[in-house]
């Protein structure tokens, strides 16, 4: 029998050392490379934040301009990838389409020169540039339309919104979306990042690393939660139904999507910023019909469960913001992936710099010396 202490989900067990991001769940602090998320949301943008995460420091004006230029140049994807996506079923989930498409990039850029800084930079640029294009392409393809070509005159966030519907987005909408990407870019060793690190530790290519992380993010207990928040608000239907809904959840001991976090025991700082972004959008474009329900639900959950450390997390308000931006519900998680590519690549780069393959142990609970029974002596049950 093993003397190891079993921790379901590896809760509280350090899996690595990292200088990329930091969370204090008791005080509601999130930092990227030591910079508070509130400061980055107010003063930075997604590509500058990505540079910070991946290369460890804020870029100079010249470095940022060069980085942004490379991203714009590499936004387009190979026509064979577009043709492949046209064969995907229209009913398929966009996360499945994204995982397949991200993996397919490795077929075109399969050289694994992990000790070559030029290769590493090229991989970073390609993944950051092409993932949004592939998400938008599948959205158009499944509606029977050709993908919208990237518009080089638009910045990263505005270009994605443009590729979704071939309309130049409002300046406020593009700004809000850029802040959303910054908020979702990184969050220590969450499930998808850990998946990326395990894959990276085998020294495979970064496209496989991102594809594995996308598959992990797709689950409803991780990135898929923001989709389920909207479904919850739809199910509640009105502010008057909030208390009854919550009471029913408590009686059934069912999870309330958008609340609670493995790390945060106070309100997620990203949820606070997202709520303010939602209010900015509502002031300009009209209030979302579900926002009042969301506010009432948050108030009720905080009153009932706040003493247990259960508060709104990043998923609770992000869906309302994306709805107002015109993003379909089943694209919420792919949008999360667009942002989190920055964090995955930062951890990929950090992992391969001092690599050791992940090989955890287990606690065996099965029998020993179990005898093989010939097939003619086995009973049917």
Q: Is 259 within 8 Å of 316 (Cβ atoms)?
A: yes
Tell me the percentage of the chain whose pLDDT exceeds 90: 86
* φ, ψ at 21 (rounded to 5°): -145, 165
pTM greater than 0.95: no
- Per-residue pLDDT of 24-66, as tens digits, reads 999 999 999 999 999 999 999 999 999 999 999 999 999 999 9
Q: Per the domain annotation, does 379 fall within a domain?
A: no
- Angle of CA points 337, 224, 171, to nearest 5°: 50
Q: Are residues 287 and 157 in the same domain?
A: no
Q: Per the domain annotation, does 229 fall within a domain?
A: yes
Q: Are residues 77 and 217 in the same domain?
A: yes
pLDDT bracket for residue 1 (50, 70, 90): very low
Cite the active site residues.
261, 315
Q: Per the domain annotation, does 103 fall within a domain?
A: yes
Q: Are residues 215 and 271 in the same domain?
A: no
Q: Is 260 within 8 Å of 310 (Cβ atoms)?
A: yes
Q: Are residues 345 and 287 in the same domain?
A: no
CA-CA distance, 140 to 7, in Å (whole number)?
A: 44
Q: Per the domain annotation, does 373 fall within a domain?
A: no
**Distance, CA of 347 to chain centre:** 14
Q: How many CA atoms lie within 13 A of 283 on its CB side?
A: 8
Q: Are residues 165 and 245 in the same domain?
A: no
- Per-residue pLDDT of 257-266, as tens digits, reads 899 888 999 9
CA-CA distance, 193 to 318, in Å (whole number)?
A: 20
Q: Are residues 309 and 185 in the same domain?
A: no
Cα four-point dihedral sign 283, 173, 181, 34:
negative
Q: Are residues 288 and 238 in the same domain?
A: yes
Q: Are residues 85 and 186 in the same domain?
A: yes
- Per-residue pLDDT of 307-343, as tens digits, reads 999 999 999 999 999 999 999 999 999 999 999 999 9
Q: Are residues 202 and 333 in the same domain?
A: yes
Q: Are residues 348 and 202 in the same domain?
A: yes
Q: Per the domain annotation, does 6 fall within a domain?
A: no
Contacts of 66 (CB under 8 A, 6+ apart): none
Q: What is the CATH number of the domain that holds 147?
A: 1.10.580.10
Q: Per the domain annotation, does 246 fall within a domain?
A: yes
Q: What is the CATH number of the domain that holds 269?
A: 1.10.230.10
Query: Does 2 have pLDDT greater than 60?
Result: no
Q: Are residues 100 and 194 in the same domain?
A: yes
Q: Are residues 309 and 162 in the same domain?
A: no
Q: What's the rounded mean pLDDT across residues 13-17?
A: 90
Q: Could you give the number of structural domains in the chain?
A: 2
What is the domain extent for residue 283?
225-324
């Amino acid at each position: 029998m093993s003397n190891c202490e079993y921790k379901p989900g590896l809760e509280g067990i350090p899996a690595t050392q990292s200088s990329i991001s930091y969370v204090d769940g008791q005080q509601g602090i999130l930092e990227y490379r030591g910079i508070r998320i509130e400061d980055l949301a107010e003063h930075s943008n997604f590509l500058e934040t990505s540079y910070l995460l991946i290369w460890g420091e804020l870029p100079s004006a010249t470095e940022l301009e060069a980085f942004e230029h490379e991203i714009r140049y590499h936004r387009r994807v190979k026509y064979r990838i577009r043709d492949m996506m046209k064969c995907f079923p229209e009913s398929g989930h966009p996360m499945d389409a994204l995982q397949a498409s991200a993996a397919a990039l490795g077929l075109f850029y399969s050289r694994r020169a992990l000790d070559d800084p030029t290769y590493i930079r090229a991989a970073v640029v390609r993944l950051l540039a092409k993932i949004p294009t592939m998400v938008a392409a599948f959205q158009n393809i499944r509606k029977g339309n050709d993908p919208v070509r990237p518009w080089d005159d638009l910045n990263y966030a505005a270009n994605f919104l443009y590729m979704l519907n071939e309309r130049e987005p409002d300046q406020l909408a593009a700004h809000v979306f850029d802040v959303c990407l910054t908020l979702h870019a990184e969050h220590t060793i969450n499930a998808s990042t850990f998946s990326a690190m395990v894959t990276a530790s085998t020294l495979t290519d970064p496209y496989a690393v991102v594809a594995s992380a996308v598959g992990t993010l797709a689950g409803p207990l991780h990135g898929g939660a923001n989709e389920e928040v909207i479904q919850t608000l739809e199910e509640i239907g009105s502010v008057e139904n909030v208390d009854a809904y919550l009471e029913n959840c408590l009686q059934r001991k069912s999870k309330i999507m958008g609340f609670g976090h493995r790390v945060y025991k106070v309100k997620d700082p990203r949820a606070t910023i997202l709520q303010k972004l939602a209010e900015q959008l509502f002031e300009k474009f009209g209030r979302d019909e579900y926002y009042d329900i969301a506010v009432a639900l948050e108030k009720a959950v905080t009153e009932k469960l706040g003493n247990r450390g259960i508060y709104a997390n990043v998923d609770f308000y992000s869906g309302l913001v994306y709805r107002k931006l015109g993003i379909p519900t089943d694209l919420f998680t792919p949008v999360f992936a667009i942002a989190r590519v920055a964090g995955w690549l930062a951890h990929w780069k950090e992992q391969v710099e001092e690599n050791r393959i992940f090989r955890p142990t287990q606690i065996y609970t099965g029998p020993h010396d179990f005898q093989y029974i010939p097939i003619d002596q086995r009973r049917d049950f």
